[in-house]
Amino acid sequence: EVRRCAFFFDVDGTLAEIQPRPELVSIPPRSLAVLEHLHVSDVPVAVISGRPLSQLDALLAPLNLPAAGVHGAERRTAAGQMQNLALNPDVFSAIERELAQACAEHPGLVLENKTVAFALHFRLAPELEDTARALAERFVERYEEVLTLQPGKCVFELKPRGASKGEVIRAFMQEPPFKGRRP
């Protein structure tokens, strides 16, 4: 029965179609209406994505749902509390500078700063997949104490250690209104 469930939705490839560039993604009005119906019916709903929370909020507007962005590095609880796994700002800036320089050598490879993580997109140049993978692996190895690699659909993400969609769902399941329900 729906009343005993808690729903967790991803955005890209689930609530929204994959697009050539991340900023072209939109969630269809019908999907937003279903999310709103569940939410107002007291069925716990959260959105879990690789996107930053700010982007999730823009895509879900006017809904303001519990959500986790950047694979759990950012999280807004059902009570509205913010929780973040953030890298040291100096280390983050150094990684960004080095990644930008490395990406500049490969037209078609797009670097996205997610404020707590980075994404190397190769959607516009699928032939750069191996290059993007090698670059991401090199950075994760170099900064292994703070970064981990998350492969995605036409993207390699470098996220803070400990950020995981599975872990963030477990955290939601420990709190009302998710607690005691079936995810």
Q: Which residues are catalytic?
A: 10
Q: How far apart are CA 33 and CA 17, in angstroms?
A: 17
CA–CA–CA angle 155, 157, 160 (5° rounding): 170
3-state secondary structure the chain: CHHHECEEECCECCCECCCCCHHHCCCCHHHHHHHHHHHHCCCCEEEECCCCHHHHHHHHCCCCCCEEEHHHCEEECCCCCEEECCCCHHHHHHHHHHHHHHHHCCCCCEEEECCCCEEEECCCCHHHHHHHHHHHHHHHHHCCCCEEEEEECCEEEEEECCCCHHHHHHHHHCCCCCCCCEC
